[in-house]
Amino acid sequence: MADLDLSVSPQRTVPPGPPPPSTTPAWFERRAVLLFGLVLTASVLFAATYFINSRFEVRRRALGEYWFKKGQAEVAARTGNAVEDFRNALAYSDGDNFQYRLRLAQALSRSGRADEAIAYLESLWEREPGNGTVNLELARLKARQHQVADALRFFHGAIYGIWDDDPEQHRRTARFELIQFLLQQGSRTQAESELVALTPEAITPDLQVRVAGLFVQVHDFRRAMQLYDRALRSDGSNPEALKGAGEAAYNLGQYAAAARYLEAAVHHGVQDPATTQMLQVSDLMRQLDPYEPRLSGRTRAQRVIAILAQVGSRLRDCAAASAQTLPGDSSGAWLQQAYKRWLDVSKAATEHHLMRDEDLIDSTLNTAFDIDRQVSANCATKAPVDTALALLSRERDQAEP
353 binds another protein (CB under 8 A): no
273 binds another protein (CB under 8 A): no
96 binds another protein (CB under 8 A): yes
Stretch that binds another protein, among 57-65, 184-192, 204-212, 307-315 (CB under 8 A): 57-65
42 binds another protein (CB under 8 A): yes
Stretch that binds another protein, among 84-92, 132-140, 199-207, 314-322 (CB under 8 A): 84-92
Q: Measuring CA to CA, how many Å separate 80 from each of 73, 86, 138, 208?
A: 10, 12, 20, 36
Q: What are phi and psi of 162, to 5 degrees?
A: -100, 130
Strands, E assignment, 101-243: none
Using alpha carbons only, what angle is made at residue 83 by residues 77 and 89, rounded to the nearest 5 degrees? 105
User: Which letter, b or e, does each residue of 285-319 get, where b requires 16 or more Cβ atoms within 10 Å of its Cβ?
Assistant: bebbbbeeeeeeeeebbbbbbebbebbbebbebbb
52 binds another protein (CB under 8 A): yes
17 binds another protein (CB under 8 A): yes
Cα separation, 282 vs 11, in Å, equals 129
399 binds another protein (CB under 8 A): no
Helix (H, G, I), strand (E, B) or coil at 131: strand
Contact 341, 312 (CB under 8 A): no
Of 106 and 376, the one with the shorter C-beta distance to another protein is 106
CB of 85 to another protein, least distance (A): 9
Q: Cα 23 from chain centroid?
A: 86
27 binds another protein (CB under 8 A): yes
40 binds another protein (CB under 8 A): no
Among 2, 6, 26, 377, the residue binding another protein under the rule CB under 8 A is 6
Cα separation, 359 vs 32, in Å, equals 121
Q: What size, in residues, is the chain?
A: 401
Stretch that binds another protein, among 85-93, 269-277, 347-355, 360-368 (CB under 8 A): 85-93
Among 82, 88, 135, 178, the residue binding another protein under the rule CB under 8 A is 88
Among 29, 33, 36, 56, the residue binding another protein under the rule CB under 8 A is 56
Write the single-letter amino acid at 279.
L
DSSP letters spanning 250-274: HHTT-HHHHHHHHHHHHHTT---HH
Count of residues touching another protein (by CB under 8 A):
53
125 binds another protein (CB under 8 A): yes
CB of 151 to another protein, least distance (A): 17
36 binds another protein (CB under 8 A): no
Among 33, 49, 146, 166, the residue binding another protein under the rule CB under 8 A is 49
Using alpha carbons only, what angle is made at residue 221 by residues 218 and 227, rounded to the nearest 5 degrees? 105
Binding site for another protein (CB under 8 A): 1, 4-10, 12, 15-19, 24, 27, 31, 34-35, 38, 41-42, 45-46, 49-50, 52-53, 56, 59-60, 63, 66-67, 84, 87-88, 90-92, 94-96, 115-116, 118-120, 122-123, 125-127
